[in-house]
Chain A
C-alpha cells in the first residue's frame, strides 16, 4: 500500500471502526437481554422470602442465601423426582433413537410400492399438533390402566419420532451404496447390514438423536402431569407444582432455586453435545 492511497482510505476506516463498535455494542446488549432473564431467576433463588415480597424490588440479595439450593433440594424429594425424570428420559431416548434409526434405514436404503406415500405421511405427521393427539391418547392410556406407569413412554419410544426418522434417513441416504452391496453379496440380511454396518457408522446422528429425545422428555410437562401421580412424576411437574407451603402459598425463592437446578443439566448437556455436533459437521464437511 503506497502513501498516496492512504488518505482516501482513512475516512472509511474510521467509519468501519465506528461500525464495529456499534456492532459489538448491539451484540453485547442483545446477549445481555437474552441471558438476563435466566440470571434473574438465579438471583431470585438467592434471596430471602422477605426480599422477594418487598416492594420496590430488591435488586441484589443483602446476603446471598446459598442454602436456598440445599433447602429446595430437601423441601421436596428432589432427587426422587430427578430420578423419575432420568428413568423416563433414558427409556424414551434410547428406544426412540433405536426405533427411529431402524425406520430411517428403511426409508433411506430400501424400496417398496407405497414408499413415496408413506414418506409423505411421515413428513406430514411431523406437522401434526401433538397436544391435540395427546389428550385422547391420555384417555386411552387411562382406559388401559397404564396411568401411573412408564409404559406410555415405552410405546412412544418404540413408535419412532418422525423428526428423528428424517434425521437418520438423511444420514443413511448419504452413505455410499457399496457399503451394503458387498454385504448383500455375502448373503447378509438387511437386519445384519443395519446393526453391523450402518449403525456403527452413525454415532454422530445416534448421539444427536439421543440428546434431542432426552431433552424432549426432560422438558415435557403435560404428559407426566396427566399420566403420573405426584410421587411418580417428573422433575418438571414437581418444580412447577410442589413448591408451596402447607397453606398453599408458593415458596418463590426455593422454587426459583429448584428451577435453576432443573434447567442447568439440560443447558450442560446442550453445551457438551454442541461441541460434538460442530466436530461432526466439520468431519462430514471434509469428506
Chain B
C-alpha cells in the first residue's frame, strides 16, 4: 500500500485554485473559511460514523425498550415503561448487577495493583529486562477466545493443571468452571492481562523526573515513601485512566461466555450462576429468548449506570489526580 497510489479526494476546490493565482495577497478571511470547511471535511467520516453507528443504534434501542419487539412476531406493541418496571422488579436484574459490581470492584483494583507492581519490578535495572517485560506483557495480547480456551484447559476438572497442583498437595480436585469457583477463574483470566497496566504504568514511570527521586533519597525517604509520595501521584492520571477503562471493560466483558462449555451466544443459559453477570443476562434475554424490547431496556439501564459511575469516578478523583503536563500545552 503506497500513499501515492491513493487518489487525492480532499483537494479543496475553487478556493485553492484562487490561491494559486495570487499567492501573495491571499485574503485572511478566505483562508480561515477554507480551514473551517476543511476541518469538517476531514472530521466528517468520524462524525457521520458516530451518528450512524452509535447514536442511531442507541436511539433505536431506546425506542425498542418501550416495546415488546422480538424480531419475529408482527404484533409487537408500545408498552411505555413496562419493560423498565419489569426489569426493576426482577431479582435476576439485581443479582446479576450485584455480581457485576463485585467483579468490577475486585478485578479492576487487583489488575491495577498487579500491573503497577510488575511495572515497578521491571523498571529496576535487571538483566534481560526487555525479555521479562515482553513475556509479562504477552498474555495481554492474547485474544479473548484464546484466553477463554486457555483458562478452560488450565482449570478443566480432569486435565487441568490447577487440579493437578492441588491434588499434589492432597486436596480434592475442584470443579473450577462450575459454581462457586467459576468466579475465581474469571478473575484470574482478567488478571492474566495485567501486563496492560504494566506497560502503560511503565511509560509513566519513565517520565518521572530522576531529580525527584534523587531529592527524595537525599532527604532520607524510604523506598515505600518515595513510591507513595512521588511515583503514585505522578502516575495518578494513568491510574485514573486505567480505572475508568477497567470498569467499563469489566461491565461488558464476554469472558463468562468464553469460559462456559458452550461459547455461543445461545450458550448463556448454561452459565454457572456465579458468572451470570449483567451483560450475560442481557445476552440471554437478547439471544436465548429474543426479547429485544426488554433486553434493550436492560441495555439502557446499564448504559446510564456506566455514565453515572464514570462521572462519579472523575468527580471523586478530581482533587486527587495530579496532572503534571498539560498535553494541550505541548507543541
Q: Interface of A with B (CB < 8 Å)?
A: 20, 23-24, 26-27, 30-31, 34-38, 40-41, 44, 47, 51-59, 94, 98-100, 102-103, 105-107, 110-113, 115, 118, 121-122, 125, 127-133, 135-137, 139-140, 142, 155-156, 158-160, 162, 165, 170, 173-174, 184-192, 194-196, 199-200, 215, 218-219, 221-222, 225-226, 236, 239-241, 250, 252, 255-256, 259, 262-263, 266-267, 270-271, 274
Contact between A187 and B164, CB atoms less than 8 A apart:
no
Contact between B35 and A30, CB atoms less than 8 A apart:
no
Contact between B45 and A158, CB atoms less than 8 A apart:
yes
Contact between B331 and A99, CB atoms less than 8 A apart:
no
Contact between A189 and B10, CB atoms less than 8 A apart:
yes
Contact of B150 among A24, A41, A156 (CB under 8 A): A41
Contact of A267 among B53, B138, B261, B327 (CB under 8 A): B138
Q: Which of B40, B53, B156, B327 has the most CB of A within 10 A?
A: B53
Contact of B38 among A106, A215, A271 (CB under 8 A): A106
Residue of A nearest to B128 (CB): A27
Contact between A252 and B12, CB atoms less than 8 A apart:
no
Q: How far is the CB of B108 from chain A (nearest CB, A)?
A: 14
Contact between A102 and B295, CB atoms less than 8 A apart:
no
* B323 within 8 A of partner (CB): no
Q: What are 24 A-B interface contacts by the 8 Å CB criterion?
A: A20-B126, A35-B135, A35-B138, A37-B154, A94-B1, A111-B35, A127-B244, A130-B252, A132-B302, A132-B303, A136-B60, A156-B49, A160-B49, A170-B327, A191-B8, A191-B10, A218-B143, A219-B143, A221-B143, A240-B145, A252-B159, A262-B143, A267-B141, A274-B134
- Residues in chain B near residue A159, CB distance under 8 A: 45-46, 48-50, 52-53
Contact between A252 and B153, CB atoms less than 8 A apart:
yes
Q: How far is the CB of B210 from chain A (nearest CB, A)?
A: 15
Residue of B nearest to A190 (CB): B38
Contact between B258 and A139, CB atoms less than 8 A apart:
no
- Residues in chain A near residue B124, CB distance under 8 A: 23
Contact between B57 and A38, CB atoms less than 8 A apart:
no
- Residues in chain A near residue B265, CB distance under 8 A: 222, 225-226
How many angstroms from the CA of A110 to the CA of B56 in the assembled complex?
A: 27
Q: Which of B49, B61, B261, B262 has the most CB of A within 10 A?
A: B49
Contact of A135 among B23, B299, B310 (CB under 8 A): B299
Known pairs A58-B159, A111-B35; A129 contacts B146 (CB<8 A): no
Contact of A121 among B4, B34, B39, B50 (CB under 8 A): B50
Contact between A55 and B158, CB atoms less than 8 A apart:
yes
- Total chain B interface residues with beta-carbon distance under 8 A: 104
Contact between B126 and A30, CB atoms less than 8 A apart:
no
Contact between B146 and A259, CB atoms less than 8 A apart:
yes
How many angstroms from the CA of A199 to the CA of B10 in the assembled complex?
A: 13
Contact between A27 and B126, CB atoms less than 8 A apart:
yes
How many angstroms from the CA of A170 to the CA of B244 in the assembled complex?
A: 21
Contact between B302 and A125, CB atoms less than 8 A apart:
no
Contact between B286 and A115, CB atoms less than 8 A apart:
no
Contact of B132 among A27, A105, A219 (CB under 8 A): A27
Beyond known contacts A127-B245, A129-B306, A139-B71: 13 more, CB 8 A cutoff: A35-B139, A41-B149, A41-B153, A54-B159, A56-B167, A129-B303, A140-B56, A184-B19, A190-B12, A191-B10, A196-B3, A225-B265, A262-B145
Q: How far is the CB of B162 from chain A (nearest CB, A)?
A: 9
Contact between B331 and A174, CB atoms less than 8 A apart:
yes
How many angstroms from the CA of A281 to the CA of B49 in the assembled complex?
A: 31
- Residues in chain A near residue B23, CB distance under 8 A: 185-187
Known pairs A23-B124, A158-B49; A40 contacts B153 (CB<8 A): yes
Q: Which of B3, B42, B261, B299 has the most CB of A within 10 A?
A: B42
Restricting to B135-186, which residues have a CB under 8 Å from any CB of A? 135-136, 138-139, 141-146, 148-151, 153-154, 156-161, 163-164, 167, 173
How many angstroms from the CA of A165 to the CA of B47 in the assembled complex?
A: 12
Contact between B248 and A127, CB atoms less than 8 A apart:
yes
Contact between A112 and B53, CB atoms less than 8 A apart:
no
Contact between A195 and B8, CB atoms less than 8 A apart:
yes
Q: How far is the CB of B116 from chain A (nearest CB, A)?
A: 13
Q: How far is the CB of B330 from chain A (nearest CB, A)?
A: 8
